[in-house]
Chains A and B, each alone.
Chain A
Amino acid sequence: MSERLAVRKTYKLFIGGAFPRSESGRSYVVTDAKGRFIANASQASRKDARDAVVAARKAFAGWSGRTAYNRGQILYRVAEMLEGRRDQFTTELRQTGLTKPQANAEVDAAIDRWVWYAGWADKISAVAGAANPVSGPFFNFSTPEPTGVVAVIAPDSPLLGLVSVVAPAIVSGNTTVVVASEPAPLPAITLAEVLATSDLPAGVINVLTGHRAEITPWLASHMDVNAIDLTGAPTGHVHDLEEKAAENLKRVLRPQDADWTAEPGTARMTAFLETKTVWHPVGV
């Protein structure tokens, strides 16, 4: 019997709940830590970025309109599905140069991180909001609301780093366009496959793979993007991206040295929240 032919996977983009190829038709080679070919990944163009923003905008009203409790449940469901893909994630992480125990530990940490953020869905408003004492017969409440469409430039930590920047953005009701790590994009697309089979509404997370220096300026300058997380922005481009983001006063989260294994705190969630304050007369 002849040897069975390998069934190689085509890694595509994730936009609006579907897996399209790049509109440009381009792809780039992804290699493992030793430089060997692993797969071809789609090389997204500015038009893919534009389509992803449209999908994220479309999903925003529905996602932010759900109850915090329901968002939390959906994120838990995603964590359950992540657990089922453990082997695939481990394999993909080992290709990036991690040993088996390291890869296992990173998958554990990523799933735990996701669950941790899922728990915040119905708690963040209690922590970031307030009942303010005012000098008058009024109830005065400040409540956090999602900022809108957030462009997330993911760091090169391909799974734990990715989860650590995406989960805090969506848990409060934002929708996202994620630019995956350029050298190690495969876990991001595998995560997208998990999302597609969980109950997360289409368009809440959109994943682009490709050259970050090419895609990110279009997201930073896009007038319909409300915030940008520059964590994985290519070095030397950050200043330019911040300048572009200033045009429509995007909220900007600057890159900082992050230890992804450390306790994350609430900073990444509160970075993409707006505060709404309501006055209500007492006794009415």
Chain B
Amino acid sequence: MSTETLNSAADLRAFLHGLPGVDQVGAEERAARLASRSIKTTAKAAAIDLAISMVDLTTLEGADTAGKVRALCAKAARPDPSDASVPKVAAVCVYSDMVEVAVTSLAGTGIGVASVATAFPSGRAPLEAKLADTRAAVAAGAAEIDMVIDRGAFLAGDYGKVFEEIVAVKDACGSAHLKVILETGELATLDHVRRASWLAMRAGADFIKTSTGKISPAATLPVTLVMLEAVRDYRTATGRQVGVKPAGGIRTTKDAIKYLVLVNETAGPDWLTPDWFRLGASSVLNDLLMQRRKLATGVYSGPDYFTLD
């Protein structure tokens, strides 16, 4: 179900190209300025817990096994087995064939299962295959679907095709939330990021997500800044709120807190909840836990005291 119907590809093209251009130097400077904020003591403790509750704990490897997914689910529900006060994460993100395992493992925890779909990560497959992938994930119990856009079509200027695909996948999702991955590392410019954000939101995305994590660069602060501006402006224009999820390349607590500052200063505190902002990552969780323990015990911790994945 799309939020609006597309009158013609030409209209969409005119709209996207009518969006104001992004001042790249300005965006980079603004992101760097916000990243220099110092967050300490109680504010830091609160930020760490908030960041943990926003993590989409992810495993997207060809070598994933049911056992690994179960281990990840156990960690999602109880990130630090020795400390029950650590909040649980927002969701577990897996490939569509692992959804069933994850759903079973997470039963009763209140943690959602997100599944990547639509020929992740490249998106190079016929539409029918993408839709079948999506339906299978939803049928297996995925509460959230992370789809990839067709970057080839987007860069070639075929916005109509990208739009129609998102609409079709949104339709196949049913009640599941749809996150649309823009793969900003392949979009080359911030102007493209802004256009792709608006395109995805107009086609019905519940979330816009930076990257698959398979391409470098993955999430960066300037890209996330542009996307946060887009969701803010979109809500002002239409009244509908869309979430944002940077994914990939977020490895340290410092990185995570930089993103939280960026959200607060760009989109505003309305987005500062796991319902509207997520961090797609896996390794960052251990760093968050280590920092949390450092605040609790007063001594630096080490990776030996936390699970590997």
Contacts and interface: CB of A to CB of B under 8 A. Distances in A.
A217 to B, nearest CB: 9
Contacts of B300: 50, 53, 218, 221-224
A247 interface: yes
Contacts of B239: none
B299 interface: yes
Interface stretch (B9-17, B130-138, B183-191, B301-309): B301-309
Interface in A33-61: 50, 53, 57
The interface size bin for chain B is: under 10
A222 B301 CA distance: 6
B152 to A, nearest CB: 38
The secondary structure that dominates the B interface is loop
Contacts of A225: 302
Contact of B304 (A218, A221, A223, A244): A223
A224 B304 contact: yes
A254 B208 CA distance: 57
Nearest to B300: A222
A182 B300 CA distance: 23
A224 B294 CA distance: 12
B80 to A, nearest CB: 14
Contacts of B305: 223
A50 B300 CA distance: 8
A148 to B, nearest CB: 10
B178 to A, nearest CB: 38
Nearest to A224: B302
Contacts of A53: 300
A218 B300 CA distance: 7
Contacts of B303: 57, 224
A222 to B, nearest CB: 4
Interface string A212-226: 000000100111110
A50 B298 CA distance: 13
A53 to B, nearest CB: 7
Interface in B266-306: 298-305
Contact of B302 (A218, A223, A244): A223
A247 B299 contact: yes
Nearest to A244: B299
A221 B304 CA distance: 15
B221 to A, nearest CB: 20
A244 B300 CA distance: 12
Residue from B301, B302, B304 with most neighbouring chain A CB atoms (10 Å): B302
Contacts of B299: 218, 221-223, 244, 247
B284 to A, nearest CB: 15
Contacts of A222: 299-300, 302
Contacts of B304: 223-224
A50 B299 CA distance: 10
A223 B294 CA distance: 10
A50 B303 CA distance: 13
Interface string B10-31: 0000000000000000000000
A244 B304 CA distance: 18
Residue from A223, A225, A247 with most neighbouring chain B CB atoms (10 Å): A223
Interface in A196-238: 218, 221-225
A50 B304 CA distance: 15
B287 to A, nearest CB: 10
Nearest to A53: B300
Interface string A63-104: 000000000000000000000000000000000000000000
A223 B299 CA distance: 7
Nearest to B293: A223
Given A222-B302, A224-B300, 15 more contacts: A57-B302, A57-B303, A218-B300, A221-B299, A221-B300, A222-B299, A222-B300, A223-B299, A223-B302, A223-B305, A224-B301, A224-B303, A224-B304, A225-B302, A244-B299
Interface of A: 50, 53, 57, 218, 221-225, 244, 247
Interface of B: 298-305
Q: 6 tightest CB-CB pairs across the interface, nearest first?
A: A224-B302, A221-B299, A223-B302, A222-B300, A223-B301, A50-B300
26 contacts: A50-B300, A53-B300, A57-B302, A57-B303, A218-B299, A218-B300, A221-B298, A221-B299, A221-B300, A222-B299, A222-B300, A222-B302, A223-B299, A223-B300, A223-B301, A223-B302, A223-B304, A223-B305, A224-B300, A224-B301, A224-B302, A224-B303, A224-B304, A225-B302, A244-B299, A247-B299
